[in-house]
Amino acid sequence: MDRGAGRFAPSPTGPLHLGSLLTATASWLDARARGDAWYVRIDDLDTPRNRPGATDSILASLDCHGLHWDGPVRYQSARIAVYERALADLAARGCVFFCSCSRRTVGSQRIYAGNCRARRAPTPDCSIRMRVDEVAVDFDDLVCGHRYEVLAETVGDFVLRRRDGIIAYPLATAVDDGAGEITRVIRGRDLLASTAAQLLVIDRLGLTRPAYGHVPIVVNTAGQKLSKQTHAAPLDPSRPLANLRLVLEALGSPAAAAPAGTSTELLAAATGTWSIDHLPATDPVAPS
pLDDT at 242: 95
Question: Is it the case that residue 1 has pLDDT exceeding 60?
Answer: no
Collapsed DSSP state (helix, strand, coil) of residue 219: strand
pLDDT at 2: 74
Question: Of the given ranges (3-12, 32-41, 60-69, 276-285), which has the lowest mean pLDDT?
Answer: 276-285
Asked if residue 199 is part of any domain, the answer here is yes
Give dist(CA 203, CA 218) in Å, integer.
Answer: 31
Question: Is it the case that residue 162 has pLDDT exceeding 90?
Answer: yes
Asked if residue 193 is part of any domain, the answer here is yes
pLDDT of 244-266, one tens digit each?
Answer: 999 999 999 999 999 988 999 99
pLDDT at 93: 95
pLDDT of 119-153, one tens digit each?
Answer: 888 888 899 999 999 999 999 999 999 999 999 99
pLDDT at 84: 98
For helices 169-177 and 195-205, the axis angle rounded to 10 degrees is 60
Question: Is it the case that residue 24 has pLDDT exceeding 90?
Answer: yes
Please state, rounded to an integer, the average pLDDT across all residues of the chain. 94
If you average pLDDT over residues 157-182, what whole number do you get? Answer: 97
Asked if residue 64 is part of any domain, the answer here is yes
pLDDT at 29: 98
What does DSSP say about strands 74-75 and 37-42: parallel, antiparallel, or unpaired? parallel
Number of domains in the chain: 1
Asked if residue 201 is part of any domain, the answer here is yes
Contact call for residues 30 and 62 (beta carbons, < 8 A): no
Contact call for residues 201 and 175 (beta carbons, < 8 A): yes
pLDDT at 230: 75
If you average pLDDT over residues 175-183, what whole number do you get? Answer: 97
pLDDT of 180-232, one tens digit each?
Answer: 999 999 999 999 999 999 999 999 999 999 999 999 999 888 888 888 777 78
pTM: 0.94
**CATH code for the domain of 108:** 3.40.50.620
pLDDT at 109: 75
- Among 174, 187, 182, which Cα is nearest to 20's? 187
pLDDT of 33-78, one tens digit each?
Answer: 999 999 999 999 999 999 999 999 999 999 999 999 999 999 999 9
Contact call for residues 245 and 266 (beta carbons, < 8 A): yes
Asked if residue 287 is part of any domain, the answer here is no
pLDDT of 81-119, one tens digit each?
Answer: 999 999 999 999 999 999 998 877 777 677 988 889 998
Asked if residue 285 is part of any domain, the answer here is no
Asked if residue 165 is part of any domain, the answer here is yes
pLDDT at 60: 97
pLDDT at 224: 82
Give dist(CA 154, CA 147) in Å, integer.
Answer: 13
Q: Which domain holds residue 130?
A: 5-278
Asked if residue 288 is part of any domain, the answer here is no
If you average pLDDT over residues 235-247, what whole number do you get? Answer: 95
* DSSP state letter for 192: G
